[in-house]
A and B are shown apart, each in its own frame.
Chain A
């Protein structure tokens, strides 16, 4: 396939960068930073090349690279992108160099290891987005965990140990259950087809019994729900965000959370459609609860970072709701909301980093009147805030609007076998729409506390406005927030075919009748079974007849007797 080299290259580049950084002398921190920035930038530029080969009209996997990896297990190194993942890969590669540029000064201890961790993290994230082999995905999924653990645990704030362990244990609880479910699917597939493989496309050929789907989906869903994070398994997020260094927060909110939603779209829903239909009401209700709950709790924070962390719980609720509507609007909106959330929340955290570097506090009460001192920063930050609050013509609006719309009209598209797929979709949509009010409440509250009011704290009187470097990190974000809000169509067009295919496939799969594990469309029905049994009896009878009628010593066997 053309361009198949590209995705492995995208994974390899940051890894190569990490190795080079680790080879550089310990004291040359400028060199580390330079290498890190250069490698992430090159990765971004290379990732742009994807669109040279990517066909927006095609709905399947593209740029597929497929190579044997662990033959004994049947695991393959198979990567590829489609409309669901290609923009998320781009988001990752775009945010990385910006993050490094924005936080260059914030890390002084172990700058070399920090860069290496960031680069390994990038490789892990890209790998997890492009993996098309369940086992490969699982490996990358866990690979992401380690550098993030180190980022929080080494370069974090005061309670970094508690936060990093909480982050790892929370994530592991979910992902281990997911591993069990992966093995179950793997073995079932082998039972049915006779081949051992973890290739996603192959595994998707096998329909599991209803009950098994229920539990396997639950296992996957737990892993992904923790990652999103869905209420009530979200409490690792505020701690992780508060303790993580700015760069860690940006990547955590900007990219890592997206794996939860992406995992549902790529793995959990296609592999276990019946399970998804059974669990959809629960997840949708939790998503709506999260939208409201996250917003309420965000409002009661004094720590800016915690406020933004809880706002992520609220925003990601929209994404989770969107994918379970099974409408093109809901799913496209969900992916779009993820892109926007990556930019806006990334920007919010970068801005907090800007303030933190100057004042070393995240308490809103310590600020006030900053607009006067940093008008440029305030203006740009206001755009980011408004983008996050979902103002039309900025990026946040399109995604949220589409997911809400999708939820509202989703009643028409439920699977036939599950007529009450989502309970009261319009009520759910209406409840989720309150996020529009609540988002304005906590975001403007934060903005006012920090930027409005009198500049009455002496230590705020000497704050410099944005430096050229910081401006260079904010400007691309702000421009993209505008561009995604004003011109969402190109991005939506990239998703469209894959989203439509996702919905078609889901409906086809969920319509498969329940039965023992079997290849889709080849359910051993009762009639087929009885015909098979009848044939067996006939054959046995013929054998007996044949042996009775054996006139001579010629060996006779099989049906009909004659040879």
Chain B
């Protein structure tokens, strides 16, 4: 297997683990199952460390060397084999570990290893243990393909792969109908995003003829980004927005976020890994990965940042009134992802990845802590026999600080981090995003746009601190609000150990991303992240067009030390204010003020938040139900009625009616045949007779008028006698020259012999009736003569 390049082993190891556990897992012991799964992921983590930094004594560290040599944007690139090749279209199964993807693989494999370990405790009573670890490994493998993919199609393999694992893990307890529905909802909503992702990919290939990230970034291909595409916008805007909608699906942004809160149906470690730390950040990663594309279009970036801000606000609002522990965390995830997209949308790529990383630590820690709390509560519920009580209902908790000390401490650290309190990691990453929004000034846009983003985020940050600390106080603060809570107990070491590690990371991760101050010289470690990522992202506007006014201008604005520190202080104050508010209302359990407010002046807002702004109901009415109706309608109306009944069976019926008629006629009786002949002949004559009315034409030929009878078709025409009255006296006339009556189909009359009217007498020999047709002749010479007389 030496022919498989080293990078391919990173996703391959977890995939092999998944293969083993999914095929043979049912025959293996629990110990063997989780040993395989954890070993596979941990080995992938070790391999990442080895490839990026090297392990003393073993060598490695290629990415580090590349970074030092100034080619950190290329890193290691390896092709496993050519995946698809048709004509000039070629997709290599290629991976690339540059400085950006190495940050991601470390987060993914690191979190994944911890969550695998945690799962051994949390899922210990699960009958489908092997399937669970199989899916978890499969997910990790797919996520690593997503991150490492060196071109869009390979990224798309991972992109869809994590979607399937998400579907399987949300619906892991498939016997519960609503869980299964949640899984399906997640997959379908993601597919809506993927549809746009595909369109974006098609557009890019159509314009540049390549899908490889490195080639896409080259200027020669990049020239295509500025070509006008639609409504004067650049191609980069269209492709970027399509791809971003794909990211909205995966990273739960407006309007496609609706699947994520429902995704909490999955086991809690899954929520921590997939729906908080890794998979949902794939969209952010993708936008940063394509920073060169987005930097070619202001429009695309503005769409990204606006959607991000709106999502951050809306999700924070919806989190206020949730009573389910995991639902609060879910909305908080949606909101924090919104922060990351604002960072990406303001060209603040480093801050987006920074917040992605710190969020992965503190949110994974929060989810695992939530799992630990629910685990403890379940024990309590069982102990007191309060069956039917939900283990995630925060109104039934309280006072857990006494029963679950480790969980409480780690949870508190993470809450401090997410609220943006110095010196926890969330403070630094959130501050970077806020400062970036404050200073950004997209060309052609008013200067207050960045301030608007900043203000929106600041409100969202206030909300975040409030609802997170509301959660904290309701769970751990005050006294127990149910018997079950009194009997909750701390979780086993396999669960608390990952909590402690994650809390530690959530505390110190901020170190590598201090703000850049001009006045104070900080050690280089404090800017490690931005200098590490710099080779992989585009810091300047891409505008090689003829109007290259902004060419090379930095996307991010600059701020003075004073404003940086001021903004940081303001953000800190806002975080503190949120915590203070939460303390006021929930510090010792829900205070009576809360009930007074929610039933009084804030009732409307409270209901709106509790019902998640009725978005699910609106979607149900606007999309889901019409979809069903249209599907049913198409089937019943178009398929069954129009095509089958009318067209197909209709034709068949016409044929069969004729068949029956023919059968009735052709019964072998001569009488019936003769009757048929007679009736048929009669019909034939009648029809032809009716068809024309008798008349005649006239034509002037020299000094004569030529009359032509048209006595009609059929029986009458052939046997009737035709006589003419040419002088208009009402009786048939005689030709004065030949002394014969005017008779027959055609006659010639001297002009002098004609009167004003001419009549044709048709004698029918059978009925002995005569029909008369009379016409007034208008001869041209007469008109001329009359005209002369008038003069």
Q: Which residues of A contact B (CB under 8 A)?
A: 166, 169-170, 232, 235, 293, 296-297, 299-301, 327-329, 332-333, 369, 371-372, 375, 379, 386, 391-393, 397-398, 401-402, 404-405, 408-409, 426, 429-430, 433-434, 436-437, 440-441, 444-445, 448, 451-455, 486-489, 492-493, 496, 499-500
Contacts and interface: CB of A to CB of B under 8 A. Distances in A.
A51 to B, nearest CB: 19
Interface string B171-190: 10011010011001001100
A492 B87 CA distance: 10
Nearest to B207: A409
A392 B86 contact: no
B21 to A, nearest CB: 12
Contact of B83 (A170, A429, A455, A489): A489
Interface stretch (B419-427, B638-646, B733-741): B638-646
A169 B647 CA distance: 13
Contact of A433 (B86, B175, B198): B198
27 contacts: A232-B638, A232-B643, A296-B627, A300-B632, A300-B635, A329-B86, A372-B175, A392-B159, A392-B161, A393-B157, A393-B161, A404-B202, A409-B206, A433-B199, A436-B194, A437-B195, A440-B187, A444-B184, A448-B174, A448-B181, A452-B171, A452-B175, A453-B174, A455-B175, A488-B83, A492-B85, A492-B86
A496 B643 contact: no
B205 interface: yes
A437 B184 contact: no
Contact of B202 (A429, A454, A492): A429
Nearest to A441: B188
A297 B86 contact: no
A293 B167 CA distance: 26
A493 B85 contact: yes
B164 interface: yes
Contacts of A436: 191, 194-195, 198
**In the complex, which range does the number of interface residues on chain B fall in?**
35 or more
A451 B174 contact: yes
B243 to A, nearest CB: 14
- 10 closest A-B pairs (Cβ-Cβ)? A328-B87, A452-B180, A300-B631, A452-B174, A408-B202, A392-B157, A440-B191, A299-B631, A296-B631, A300-B632
Contacts of A296: 627, 630-631, 634-635
Contact of B639 (A297, A328, A487): A297
A329 B89 contact: yes
Interface string B621-641: 000000110111011001100
Interface in B76-108: 81-87, 89
Nearest to A409: B206
Given A329-B87, A452-B174, A297 B634 contact: yes
Query: Chain A: interface secondary structure?
Result: helix
B198 A166 contact: no
Contacts of A451: 174
A371 B188 contact: no
B455 interface: no
Contacts of A293: 634, 638
B275 to A, nearest CB: 19
Interface in B195-233: 195, 198-199, 202-203, 205-206
B205 A409 contact: yes
B49 interface: no
A175 B195 CA distance: 38
Interface string B408-428: 000000000000000000000
Given A297-B631, A297-B635, A440-B188, A328 B195 contact: no
Nearest to B632: A300
Interface of B: 22, 26, 81-87, 89, 153, 156-157, 159-161, 164, 167, 171, 174-175, 177, 180-181, 184, 187-188, 191-192, 194-195, 198-199, 202-203, 205-206, 627-628, 630-632, 634-635, 638-639, 643-644, 647-648, 652
Given A329-B87, A429-B202, A455-B175, 7 more contacts: A293-B638, A391-B160, A408-B206, A433-B199, A437-B191, A488-B84, A493-B85
A329 B153 CA distance: 15
A469 B647 CA distance: 44
Nearest to B154: A392
B195 A489 contact: no
Contact of A235 (B87, B161, B175, B648): B648
Nearest to A503: B87
B635 A301 contact: yes
Contacts of B648: 166, 170, 235
Question: Which one of B81, B167, B194, B635 has the greatest number of beta carbons of chain A within 10 Å?
Answer: B635
A444 B187 contact: yes
B87 A300 contact: no
Contacts of A397: 160
A160 to B, nearest CB: 17
A234 to B, nearest CB: 8
B194 A332 contact: no
A293 B633 CA distance: 11
A416 to B, nearest CB: 20
Contacts of B84: 398, 401-402, 488-489, 492
Question: Which one of B22, B85, B175, B187 has the greatest number of beta carbons of chain A within 10 Å?
Answer: B175
B157 A405 contact: no
A375 B175 CA distance: 13
Contacts of A333: 86
Contacts of B199: 430, 433
A184 B205 CA distance: 44
Contact of A453 (B156, B175, B191, B635): B175
A434 B187 CA distance: 15
A454 B631 contact: no
A392 B93 CA distance: 12
A451 B181 CA distance: 12
A291 to B, nearest CB: 13
B202 A405 contact: yes
Given A169-B652, A300-B631, A437-B195, A235 B639 contact: yes
Contacts of B164: 386, 391
Given A437-B192, A451-B174, A392 B153 contact: yes
B639 to A, nearest CB: 6
Contacts of B181: 448
A379 B187 CA distance: 17
B628 to A, nearest CB: 7
Contacts of A454: 175, 177
Contacts of A375: 26
B188 A402 contact: no
B224 to A, nearest CB: 13
Contacts of A405: 89, 202, 205
Contacts of B631: 296-297, 299-300
B653 to A, nearest CB: 13
Contacts of B160: 391-392, 397
A89 B153 CA distance: 30
Contacts of B202: 404-405, 408-409, 426, 429, 433
Contacts of B643: 232, 235
A486 B82 CA distance: 10
A446 to B, nearest CB: 11
Contacts of A437: 188, 191-192, 194-195
Contacts of B156: 392
Contacts of A379: 22
Contacts of A452: 171, 174-175, 177, 180
A413 to B, nearest CB: 10
Contacts of B26: 375
A430 B205 CA distance: 14
Question: Which one of B83, B86, B187, B634 has the greatest number of beta carbons of chain A within 10 Å?
Answer: B86
A11 B86 CA distance: 31
Given A235-B648, A300-B628, A300-B634, A500 B191 contact: no
A290 to B, nearest CB: 12
Contacts of A455: 175
Contacts of B205: 405, 408-409
